[in-house]
């Protein structure tokens, strides 16, 4: 097959496409698409009736990226920092910019620590986690877990066995951390 200057022919003509596909070509005009041009200066279009938004009160110290000049006028207040995971997160925000892998890797570590801390505190608070209910695994039975997967050539079946590993990983990491801490404490007492 020779490589030529022509655009290869399409299987269907515009007329055929228009007949087959409702609305074919109604947004053909590229200048008349909602995301075009990418930047369109139109501050009155947003509904904002302020030049600078009021500041949401900072009722407790709010962690923030070192790349920001200030605490943003509005911010989320879900799940404030607490415990060891909170300390790791606070350190990560205070010490590393978003450009540093350490920033994100510490946050991911804190996420795993958080799972262990939160599971233990839920237990203490009398609201223990129920892994069966929380993983929704019962739907494997009610929603065709077997027939949805087997014999369908799905690419994700190959790593299915890893899902329980991911669920358990915080426990392995957390358990190892506890063992290390206890051994260090014992060693200190013996010394």
Subset of 25-54 contacting another protein (CB under 8 A) = 25-28, 30, 33-36, 38-43, 45-54
Nearer to another protein by Cβ, of 169 and 185: the residue is 169
As measured in angstroms, the least distance from the Cβ of 82 to another protein is: 9
Q: Is 129 helix (H, G, I), strand (E, B) or coil?
A: coil
Q: In this structure, how many other beta carbons lie within 10 angstroms of the beta carbon of residue 56?
A: 14
Count of residues interacting with another protein (CB under 8 A): 106
SS3 12: coil
- Nearer to another protein by Cβ, of 107 and 177: the residue is 107
Evaluate whether 187 touches 133 at the Cβ level (below 8 Å). no
Asked if residue 129 binds another protein (CB under 8 A), the reply is yes
For residue 59, what are its two tokens?
């009722």
175 contacts another protein (rule: CB under 8 A):
no
Name which position in 61, 123, 138, 178 contacts another protein (CB under 8 A): 138
When the beta carbons of 39 and 188 are compared against another protein, the nearer one is 39
- Residues 94, 65: Cα–Cα separation, whole Å: 7
68 lies in the binding site for another protein (CB under 8 A):
yes
Which H or E element spans position 146?
helix 145-149
For residue 116, give the 3-state DSSP assignment.
Answer: helix
Site string for another protein, 80-119 (x = CB under 8 A): -----x---x---x----x--x--xx-xx-xxx-xx-xxx
127: helix, strand or coil: coil
């Amino acid at each position: 097959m020779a490589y030529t200057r022509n655009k290869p022919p399409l299987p269907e003509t515009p007329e055929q496409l228009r007949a087959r596909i409702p609305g074919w070509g109604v947004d053909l005009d590229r200048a008349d698409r909602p995301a075009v041009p990418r930047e369109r200066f139109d501050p009155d279009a947003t509904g904002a009736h302020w030049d600078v938004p009021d500041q949401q009160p900072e009722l407790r110290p709010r962690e923030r990226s070192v790349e920001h000049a200030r605490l943003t006028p509005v911010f989320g207040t879900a799940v404030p920092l607490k415990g060891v995971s909170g300390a790791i997160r606070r350190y990560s925000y205070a010490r590393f910019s978003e450009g540093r892998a350490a920033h994100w890797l510490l946050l991911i570590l804190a996420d795993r620590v958080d799972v262990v801390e939160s599971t233990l505190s839920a237990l203490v608070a009398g609201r223990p986690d129920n892994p069966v209910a929380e993983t929704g695994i019962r739907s494997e039975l009610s929603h065709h877990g077997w027939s949805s997967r087997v014999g369908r050539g799905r690419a994700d079946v190959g790593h299915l066995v890893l899902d329980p590993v991911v669920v358990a990983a915080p426990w392995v990491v957390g358990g190892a951390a506890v063992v290390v801490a206890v051994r260090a404490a014992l060693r200190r007492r013996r010394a």
